[in-house]
Amino acid sequence: MRIDRVTTTLYKPTWPTDPFAARFRDRVFLLVEIHADGLTGVGRGWGEAAPHIEALGELIRGQDPRNVERLWSAMIQHTFGRHGQERAIVGAIGTIDVALGDLLGKALDQPCWRLLGGYRDWVEAYADVPTRAETPGRLGEQLAACVDAGYRAVKFHVLGFDPDGMVAQTRAARQAIDPDVKLMVDIFRYFDAPTAIDVARRIEQYDVHWLEEPVRWDDQPLGMALVAAATRIPVAGGEGESTLPGVRALLERGGLGYLQPNVLGAGGYTPWRKIAALAEAFHVRIAPHGASFPEINSHLVAAYPHGAMVPATTQGQPPEVWSRVYSSFAIQDGRIQLSERPGLGVELDRDYLGRHAL
């Protein structure tokens, strides 16, 4: 096989008038397609990756798409010497790498979840609620609506950075949903470790399934370990980490219960196979970040015995693009049932893409 060409499509979805949607009204998304010997591998990403994908596409054109490690190594070389652009380029590599995974699955007539490991053919999805609530009560109503829609796990992003407010929000969230529904709280890397410990201890009584990124970005390895040692709530984090050595540094401190690097931001399925193995060696479960990409995350989480859950932005709340660009992907009752269809197993809604293409 040989890669004939790599093409990209930029598209800009329209959203209803909504306080949260306003933050994403100008967000552009990207579709990459890798064509080889009559087959096409598909990946999705963010629009700002387009210039890097164009350069990387030229780099891999003419190569055998089945040699994914060789291609990934060639692409990562493209980051060296490009100071300040490294993470953006790795995100573009991730989009291409997923498309190569889809293409490989189609060439071998196997789904990605099986080629990656094949532990199970389904995963649990949680409602990752991009909250637009103004009060704890309204937050509770939004989470309850997610449960009514079938989700048995929900996560909210704190409405502000006042510790008392966070406690009130967590209390309202737990009161609004069934006691057996998993509840996760995302603090956005805001607190120093002592404050995060105080908040964690105060919300323990509300049966929080995990506390996400509770400490500031500049002190994560040690800070998260200190929080984990001081509370019985598992700590989740690492969504901004894009390298295997960076993940190793997080895991060596022993603070994480759930590891969350973004599948695209970490460079795709190829490096994530190694990240998953490293996490298993440290007895840490994997729950990749990326609520806009459950169709990609689901294959990764289903592949391994320590795969936990995948996030999904809920209906009508941007960036809920995942439910719009395909005619063959759905989340039902908080669960993603993977199929025997090769690759990612999805079919693009070309009409939708055509209406919103730039």
CATH number reported for the structural domain that contains residue 26 in this entry? 3.30.390.10
Burial (0-12, 13-18, 19+ Cβ within 10 Å), 91: buried
- Percent of the chain, pLDDT > 70? 97
CATH number, domain containing residue 167: 3.20.20.120
pLDDT band at 304 (very low <50, low <70, confident <90, very high): very high
What was the pLDDT predicted at 131?
Answer: 73
Q: How far is CA 249 from CA 58, 153, 227, 333, in A?
A: 34, 29, 16, 36
Per-residue confidence (pLDDT) for residue 49, from 0 to 100: 94
38 and 93 belong to one structural domain: yes
What is the phi/psi pair of residue 176, to 5°? -85, -15
The strands making up 29-36's β-sheet, listed across from edge to edge, are: 3-11, 29-36, 39-46
Q: Give 62-118 pLDDT, tens digit per residue.
A: 999 999 999 999 999 989 988 888 999 999 999 999 999 999 999 999 999 999 999
Model confidence at 26, in pLDDT bands (50, 70, 90)? Answer: confident
Rounded Cα distance between 81 and 86, Å, is 9
Burial of 145 (0-12, 13-18, 19+ CB in 10 A): middle
Residue 328's pLDDT is 87
Clarify whether residues 139 and 69 are in a common domain: no
- Say yes or no: 219 and 128 in one domain: yes
134 pLDDT tier (thresholds 50, 70, 90): confident
Select from 62, 21, 45, 124 the least CA-distant residue to 296.
45
Q: What is the predicted pLDDT for the residue at 27? A: 85
Structure confidence at residue 18 (pLDDT):
67
187-208: burial string, b at 16+ Cβ within 10 Å, e else: bebbbebebbbbbbebbeebeb
Q: Where are the beta strands (DSSP E) in 148-217?
A: 153-157, 182-186, 210-212
Q: Which range among 9-13, 99-103, 306-310 shows the weakest confidence by mean pLDDT?
A: 9-13
On whether both 326 and 217 belong to a single domain, the answer is: yes
d(CA 188, CA 195): 14
Domain that holds residue 328: 114-348
Place of tokens 């973004």: 262
Range scoring the smallest mean pLDDT among 78-87, 203-212, 221-230, 296-305: 78-87
For residue 319 the two structure tokens come to 């960036």
Residues 134 and 104 in one domain: no
Contact 147, 178 (CB under 8 A): yes
- Contacts of 176 by beta carbon, 8 Å cutoff, 6+ apart: 139, 140, 141, 143, 144
Task: With a cut of 80, say whether residue 318 has pLDDT above it.
Answer: no
Q: Cα separation of 342 and 320, whole Å?
A: 24
Determine the average pLDDT of the residues in 245-257. 95
Q: What is the pLDDT of residue 25?
A: 73
Average pLDDT over the chain, rounded to an integer: 94
Whats the size of the chain, residue-wise? 358
**Residue 287: pLDDT over 70:** yes
Q: Which token pair is 287?
A: 């729950």
CA 152 to chain centre: 18
In this structure, the answer to whether residues 157 and 45 fall within a common structural domain is no
- Give the count of domains, the chain: 2
Determine which of 124-133, 228-237, 283-292 has the lowest per-residue pLDDT on average: 124-133
Q: What percent of the chain is modeled with pLDDT above 90?
A: 88
Structure tokens at 297: 């995350």
Least confident of 234-238, 240-244, 308-312: 240-244
Q: At residue 256, does pLDDT exceed 70?
A: yes
Q: Directed axis angle between helix 193-203 and helix 163-176, to 10°?
A: 30
The answer to whether residues 291 and 165 belong to one domain is: yes
Pairwise CA distance, residues 257 & 265, whole Å: 20
Cα–Cα distance for residue pair 313/317, rounded to 1 Å: 7
Q: Do 214 and 299 share a domain, yes or no?
A: yes
Least trusted range by pLDDT, from 23-27, 41-45, 211-215: 23-27
**239 and 307 within one domain:** yes
The reported pLDDT for the residue numbered 21 is 67
Give the model's pLDDT for residue 17: 67
Q: Are residues 221 and 296 in the same domain?
A: yes
Q: 42 and 125 in one domain? A: no
Return the number of other C-beta atoms located less than 10 Å from residue 10's C-beta.
Answer: 14
Conformational region of residue 316, where left means phi above 0, alpha means psi within -120 to 50, and beta covers everything else: left
pLDDT of 163 > 70? The answer is yes
Q: Look at residue 289 in the predicted model and tell me its pLDDT.
A: 96
99 and 155 inside one domain:
no
